[in-house]
Amino acid sequence: MGDEHDKLLPVANVGRIMKRVLPPTAKISKEAKETIQECASEFISFVTGEASDKCQKENRKTVNGDDICWALGSLGFDDYSQAIGRYLHKHREFERERASAKVALLSNHQQIDHIDDDETS
């Protein structure tokens, strides 16, 4: 039974997500949290398995976000596939901008260090 629970999302996290969409005074039973925990975990395994099969057929070892989007569409979850595809695009854009800002900041610091070195020489 311990091995089975290792494959489930943490029930506390599931409960927090569930509470976000309910009125503040609403309560959620332990049974309801555990049911959603099992369903969500099974859904994730189902989609990830489909994406993994695709990767194996393509002789790749790493499942990426595009594979998950493809799997969702392949399994008939087109709305989710499109929504996650948009999110993935925005996330990648944000990460590129963040990396560019970091490079610019490091470059700026190196220029300042170089100026300080010149002034102390």
Query: What confidence tens digit (pLDDT) does each residue in 29-64 have?
Result: 999 999 999 999 999 999 999 999 999 999 999 999
Domain containing 10: what range? 2-120
pLDDT value for 1: 46
pLDDT above 60: residue 120: no
Query: What confidence tens digit (pLDDT) does each residue in 66-109 have?
Result: 999 999 999 999 999 999 999 999 999 999 999 988 888 877 76
> pTM of the entire structure?
0.73
- The domain spanning residue 38 has which CATH number? 1.10.20.10
- Residue 37's closest CA among 63, 16, 65? 16
For residues 17 and 82, what is the distance between their CA atoms, to the nearest angstrom?
22
- Angle, CA 5 vertex, CA 25 and CA 30 arms, to 5°: 20
Mean of per-residue pLDDT scores for the chain: 89
Number of domains in the chain: 1
For residues 85 and 27, what is the distance between their CA atoms, to the nearest angstrom?
33
Distance (Å) of CA 46 to CA 49, 105, 107: 5, 42, 45
Q: How many residues in the chain?
A: 121
